[in-house]
Structure 1
């Protein structure tokens, strides 16, 4: 089985790649805009340097050869790049999958933020379900939600393309950019007093749960 992994050198993508590379029945193609580097050294992993939004024809060929496309790319820090990265890239993936032949599946890593900020639920005990009303707040959440809805609108009735959308909460693990967990551990180690206010429905997700 051929897998195309986008964002393989990112926090979540690199962890997924490490697990997939252990399965010798899989061939994983990883695309990066940066100079190719090979953190995961395995015979079934191939790295390609490519700006997918600037080279549609080559991207189409790669998708044609893939059975599963896993998209872990997400721009969280630079608002000027969020629409292009979080929505336009996903739209391009969906359009190329529909234009391709053979069975394809898209796995999109999105965000629980599509359902709204946690302070929206203060004083409530809730369980968020897939069909709950989306209430994105902020450009990151809005572009992620827009991308997810484009996937659902265009792939739901496809005869050769299917999809899964994952909306994890805050993910932590080795290589994470956020220093929140490290800061909390430092406070505990130093024996400092602090108040930790977390809504009852808020939880962290360990990378291994992904």
Structure 2
């Protein structure tokens, strides 16, 4: 068990240049209780941070000299979900990084006396969708079928097994869709849509989605660094306020001060249109529900999301607008 006394705790974060990693570093390095080391694939400089370079995280990575004297590892690095993956064997590639690479780090960490290993997993381990009003919980028996989700699931299982046979504590966090300043992928696509004065046909989508702002995710990670009751547990994390795709778009419109209308096209017609253009997977994400229950984190850790959805979206949009403006000025 990690003491909660005011002592200096040596933290190591992998994936320092990733979306979660870079935001987590900015928060952690401001905390005088922590001495921070980060791992990246290329040489970088970060003020007041000890930077280490590991070219590739896999089953044969040499962690010697990197994890010495570390108390807690937060493992954010991963081979992320790839749309239209062209690899000849995607499952092997995902397993090599996300499963075997994670276990190699964790086993080496246990041998080095690391006290806690915080693994940033994925909502995909719990499911691709949920029934409206029936959120996913941490004790579901779902086994993912896609390579990315399966590799994360297998890493979770093996980490928990490792913890049974070592002194190192394991904590697993499964984020929902993460957004915040500099977000990419689907959330950035939606902001690009809404930033233009063009009506969108998504005004009648009656689903529910759990989202998590990067600030709320980091808040939970910070708690899990030292909280004694986090030991051996899996936690879902979201903003505490599930919203429909239509409501999300309305909040984005408001943040952009965009007066374009949101047209209430029937969901069945939207689904048909996406199917006709070969985007059925995207339709499922846009129209389907995917909710998670964060009661466990609230009850066990006495944690609640400190940042509201509205404030988090405003912050994300503000950064998006500033970035676009700077890019236009450079060009």
**Bin of the TM-score, shorter chain as denominator length:** 0.7 to 0.9
Q: Which of 154, 168, 191 in structure 2 is aligned with 1:185?
A: 191
Q: Which of 41, 66, 80 in structure 2 is aligned with 1:33?
A: 41
Single out whichever of 66-75 and 20-29 deviates more from structure 2: 20-29
Q: Which has the larger radius of gyration?
A: 2
Q: How many residues align?
A: 197
User: Structure 2 stretches of 5 or more lacking a match?
Assistant: 1-8, 218-331
More strand by share: 1
Cα deviation digits, residues 132-182 of structure 1 (max 9, x gap): 112313100000000010011110353x2101100000101122221x333
2:114 aligned with 1:97, yes or no? no
Q: Give the structure 2 partner of residue 112 of structure 1.
A: 123
Q: CA deviation at 1:115?
A: 1.3
CA gap 1:137/1:191 in 2 versus in 1, 3 angstroms: same
2:172 aligned with 1:165, yes or no? yes
Cα deviation digits, residues 28-76 of structure 1 (max 9, x gap): 1111122x112x42x2x111112354552xx134323100011001212
TM-score normalised by structure 1 residue count: 0.84
The correspondence of residues 1-210 of structure 1 with structure 2, limited to 5 A, is: 1-34=9-42, 36-38=43-45, 40-41=46-47, 43=48, 45-51=49-55, 53=58, 54-56=60-62, 59-76=63-80, 77=82, 79=90, 81-101=93-113, 104-118=115-129, 121-122=130-131, 124-158=132-166, 160-178=167-185, 180-188=186-194, 189-195=196-202, 197=205, 199-200=207-208, 202-210=209-217
**3-state SS of paired residue (1:141):** helix
More helix by share: 2
**3-state SS of paired residue (1:174):** coil
CA gap 1:23/1:135 in 2 versus in 1, 3 angstroms: same
CA gap 1:94/1:129 in 2 versus in 1, 3 angstroms: same
CA RMSD of aligned residues (A): 2.1
Residues of 2 paired with 1:9 and 1:27: CA distance?
Answer: 18
Residues of 1 paired with 2:106 and 2:188: CA distance?
Answer: 37
**3-state SS of paired residue (1:182):** helix
Q: Is the 8 A contact 2:61 2:101 kept in 1?
A: no
TM-score normalised by structure 2 residue count: 0.55
Q: Is the 8 A contact 1:4 1:28 kept in 2?
A: yes
User: Structure 1 stretches of 5 or more lacking a match?
Assistant: none
CA gap 1:198/1:84 in 2 versus in 1, 3 angstroms: farther
